[in-house]
Amino acid sequence: YGSFDKVREAFRQFVENVPFYGFGVMCIDHPEVQALVSRIEDRRVITYGENAQADVRFTNHRMDGPTSEFDVVIRDRKTRGQSTISGLRLPMPG
């Protein structure tokens, strides 16, 4: 790509080329992605991560030996409501 600006623009174009019936999924924990999400036009974007602005956010992360346990909060942008899935476990640390 030659520069980070060109990488950024290529990714924006990639997301904006998703068909109208699809959506882009982006981790909003990084400032570059936060800025990019606000520039995406005419495509649905679902965000995830630890950031409080994420549509799908993990919270209460805790380690239990070789497993990770956490909750997932799903935010509805239209109704401004949210639902929580509690106590998810992954058989791996981190």
Domain that holds residue 68: 55-94
Task: Read off the pLDDT of each residue in 19-48 and give the average, rounded to a whole number.
Answer: 93
pLDDT at residue 4 is higher than 90: yes
40: which DSSP letter?
Answer: -
pLDDT one-digit tens code per residue, 51-71? 999 999 999 999 989 999 999
Residue-averaged pLDDT of the chain: 93
26 shares its domain with 10? yes
Distances (CA, A) of 81 to 4, 28, 34, 40, 77: 37, 19, 21, 23, 7
> Tell me, what's the pLDDT at 57?
97
Tell whether 17 and 41 lie within a shared domain. yes
39 shares a domain with 4? yes
- Co-location of 43 and 11 in the same domain: yes
In this prediction, residue 94 carries a pLDDT of 74
User: Do 40 and 60 share a domain, yes or no?
Assistant: no
Tell whether the model's pLDDT for residue 93 goes beyond 90.
Answer: no
- Are 64 and 37 in the same domain? no
Number of domains in the chain: 2
In a shared domain, residues 30 and 43: yes
Q: How confident is the model at residue 41 (pLDDT cuts 50, 70, 90)?
A: confident
What is the average pLDDT across 27-42? 92
Residues 8, 1: Cα–Cα separation, whole Å = 10
